[in-house]
Structure formats: C-alpha cells, structure tokens
Amino acid sequence: MSLYSFIKQRYDRVNDFFIETLMSEIKTPYDRIGGESAVRKLCQTFYQVMCDTPQTQLIRAMHPEEIGLSEEKLYLFLTGWLGGPPIYTDKYGHPRLRKRHMPFPIGIEERDQWLYCMAQALKSMGLDELFSQQLMGSFVQTADFMRNKPNEE
Ligand code: HEM
C-alpha cells in the first residue's frame, strides 16, 4: 500500500467517525420537543383550545363535529414536519397542504385563529423559549401560506 493510500484510509475513517458523532448530536425538532407523546399532547391541546375558545369558532365550524380524526391527522403530519418518521405520508401520500385546504375559505381572520390555538398549545408545553419561538415562526409561515381568500392583503 502506498503512503498516500495508507494516510487516506486513516483519514477517511477519522472523518467518518467525526460525521457520525456530529450527526448523533444533532437533534431534530421532533426529538427536541419530546417525541411521540409530546406531539400528541400538542395536537390534543391545539384542538381543545379551538373547541373551547369562543373567538375561534369560525375555524372550529369548518372541522367535522367529531374532532378526533382531525387531531390524528395533525399529529401524523407534524411528526414528519418536525423531522420524525414520515407517518402522514405513509398513510395519506404527499401532504399537499395548500391544496387540501382549498375547500375551506382561509383568510387573515382564519389564519390568526389557527395561530392563536397553536400559540396557546405551544405555551402549555413548557419548551425552551427560543425553540418555542422558532417553532411558532415556522407555523406562522405555513399558516400564512394556507390563505386562499382573494382580495386580502
Ligand atoms: C391557516 C389556517 C388553517 C385553517 C383554518 C385550517 C383548517 C383545516 C380544516 C378545516 C381541515 C379539515 C379537517 C379534517 O379534514 O379533519 C384541516 C386539515 C388539516 N390541516 Fe389545517 N388549517 C389551517 C392551517 C394549517 C396549518 C398551518 C397546518 C400545518 C402546520 C395544518 C395542517 C392540517 C392537516 C395536516 C390537515 C389534514 C389534511 C388531510 O389529510 O386531509 N393546517 N385544516
């Protein structure tokens, strides 16, 4: 074996080791939030707030009377969205969220009601403040992307 190959082989192994170590220390948002039970709790609180808050009845009324399946779908979706297993896609295919929301007229008021529920649900989780704000920032972007009513800013 040439000196070059010898050094390269050693270097590659060290490199693999560093990459492996780094990857094992990078946690997904799914891990940081607390995995399955935490995402379930977030979705449960989200819909509980939506059902119990008089100011969010506009969007509550868009959902089926029986809210259980909506909660389950949000749980499946958020799991993958946060970097956990892609269980929504496995069951329902590509989320195409904007398209799936088209049957519901979503404007500024609807968006803000949805975000209110999510803000309350997130607050109840007692997460690290910066992480919680980062999550909320992503929800704000996604919720705004869902708007489909014409003639709104
Ligand atoms: C912007 C305001 C929003 C409103 C008013 C809204 C409303 C709704 C409604 C009425 C449904 C149908 C419920 C059902 O089929 O059980 C639904 C489904 C769903 N929503 Fe939203 N939504 C909003 C934003 C979001 C956002 C930001 C996300 C994700 C971060 C999201 C994720 C989902 C998912 C995963 C489903 C299930 C889709 C399916 O498989 O049919 N929604 N939403």
Burial group, residue 65, by CB count within 10 angstroms (0-12, 13-18, 19+): exposed
Average pLDDT over the chain, rounded to an integer: 95
146 alpha carbon – ligand 1 mean position (Å): 9
SS3 55: helix
Give yes or no for residue 82 CB within 6 A of ligand 1: no
Give yes or no for residue 117 CB within 6 A of ligand 1: no
The class level of CATH for 31-145 reads: mainly alpha
Give yes or no for residue 112 CB within 6 A of ligand 1: no
Is it the case that residue 24 has pLDDT exceeding 80?
no
pLDDT at 108: 97
Domain boundaries, given as residue ranges, for the chain: 31-145
- Torsional sign, CA 7, 25, 83, 141: negative
Tell which atom from ligand 1 comes closest to the C-alpha of 146. Answer: 1
pLDDT at 125: 98
pLDDT at 13: 87
Burial group, residue 111, by CB count within 10 angstroms (0-12, 13-18, 19+): buried
Q: In this predicted model, what pLDDT tens digit does every residue of 75-126 receive, in sequence order?
A: 999 999 999 999 999 999 999 999 999 999 999 999 999 999 999 999 999 9
Specify the residue with its C-alpha closest to ligand 1, atom 2. 111
